[in-house]
């Protein structure tokens, strides 16, 4: 593997914190791959200044809105978010001098809500148990606020094609360069679908044989839709930020070769393993993706293959959930703790 090209290194003072977005490190996984010959590398998006992969699209969407005259001095950035895009947008808004208002479903962690407010955002918490056509659905509430607020720009990450384009222009090229073109498999998990779609498009344009595998939480509709073309009913799940109860236009299925489903228990267990065995503090969405990447690597059993996956955000956002044993028990995830005890012997 290679380090980023010298031109990407920080050589001196930067204009703002936004200049540090991107060129996150690619790190080899070790102990969680015990007995597996296929190498797996994780792109640590928690190194972005806002702590997640969503910093990339936040900057791209605001930049595009400014270019197109949709956002100007005194404007307001509005979005329905599961947390990380809102945090990225709030950071950009703070630098650029915009007001921001975000709606977020109540199932999301308290840490995310506090971070949004720390950046100066107004946060409106909405019910999690309503359908996408309900007026209290978080995206619908944000849309209404944007319509009623003078000078507002609705980032609209589920529809804004700057979302996948940002990853086509940054994440994909970074992975290609950091692996010296050796990547054979890319594993991610769609929420909006922008990360996996944009990255996959770039990698497949460089090498059509790169295989793209999507992880989906049990309860999301994406995996079944990819197989049948039928939009089924979603069921509740606890992993945040990935999966969906509707089909997002920023998810381009044509660039994805396969979907695999993962349970909450598997996702939370792997997130905790990453912290305790790899020193990588991440949330359950990362746990889910890494579980899929490990399964792919085990099946390949090929030391010449190169599996790349993502560390979506920092686990500091989930201290009250993923890393809280009482919360796990109260939410029916005691199996996570039982598996840990069994590994410890």
What positions carry a catalytic annotation?
A: 54
Task: Classify 248 as helix, strand or coil.
Answer: coil
Output Rg (C-alpha) for the chain, integer angstroms: 19
Whole-number Å distance between alpha carbons of 320 and 327: 7
CA distance 249 to 253: 10
169: tokens are 């222009």
Ordered alpha helix ranges (H), the chain: 54-67, 84-96, 110-118, 138-148, 162-169, 171-178, 194-206, 222-228, 264-273, 284-300, 325-330, 334-344
Helix (H, G, I), strand (E, B) or coil at 70: coil
Query: What are the structure tokens assigned to 122, written together?
Result: 């107004």
- Are 32 and 343 in contact by the 8 Å Cβ rule? The answer is no
């Amino acid at each position: 593997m290679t380090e980023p090209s010298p031109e990407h290194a920080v050589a001196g003072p930067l204009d703002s914190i936004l200049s540090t977005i991107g060129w996150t490190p690619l790190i080899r996984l070790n102990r969680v791959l015990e007995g597996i010959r296929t190498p797996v590398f994780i792109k640590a998006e928690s190194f972005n200044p806002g702590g997640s992969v969503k910093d990339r699209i936040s900057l791209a969407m605001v930049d595009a809105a400014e270019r197109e005259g949709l956002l100007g001095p005194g404007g307001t950035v509005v979005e329905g978010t599961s947390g990380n895009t809102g945090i990225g947008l709030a950071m950009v808004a703070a630098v650029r001098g915009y007001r921001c208002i975000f709606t977020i479903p109540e199932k999301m962690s308290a840490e995310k809500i506090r971070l949004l407010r720390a950046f100066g955002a107004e946060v409106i918490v909405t019910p999690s148990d309503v359908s996408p056509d309900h007026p209290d659905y978080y995206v619908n509430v944000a849309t209404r606020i944007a319509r009623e607020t003078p000078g507002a720009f609705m980032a609209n990450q589920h529809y804004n094609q700057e979302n996948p384009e940002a990853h086509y222009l940054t994440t994909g090229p970074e992975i290609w360069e950091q692996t010296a073109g050796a990547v054979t498999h890319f594993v991610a998990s769609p929420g909006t679908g922008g990360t996996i779609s944009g990255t996959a498009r770039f990698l497949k344009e460089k090498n059509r044989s790169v295989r793209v595998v999507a992880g989906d939480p049990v309860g999301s509709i994406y995996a079944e839709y990819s197989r049948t073309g039928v939009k089924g009913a979603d069921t509740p799940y606890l992993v945040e930020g990935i999966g969906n109860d509707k089909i997002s236009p920023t998810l381009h299925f044509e660039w994805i070769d396969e979907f695999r489903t993962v349970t909450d228990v598997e996702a939370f267990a792997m997130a905790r393993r990453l912290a305790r065995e790899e020193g990588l503090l991440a949330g359950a969405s990362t746990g889910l993706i890494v579980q899929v990447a490990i399964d792919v690597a085990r099946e390949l059993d090929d030391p010449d293959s190169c599996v790349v996956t993502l560390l979506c955000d920092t686990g500091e956002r989930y201290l009250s959930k993923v890393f809280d044993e009482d919360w796990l028990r109260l939410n029916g995830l005691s199996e996570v703790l039982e598996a840990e005890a069994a590994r410890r012997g």
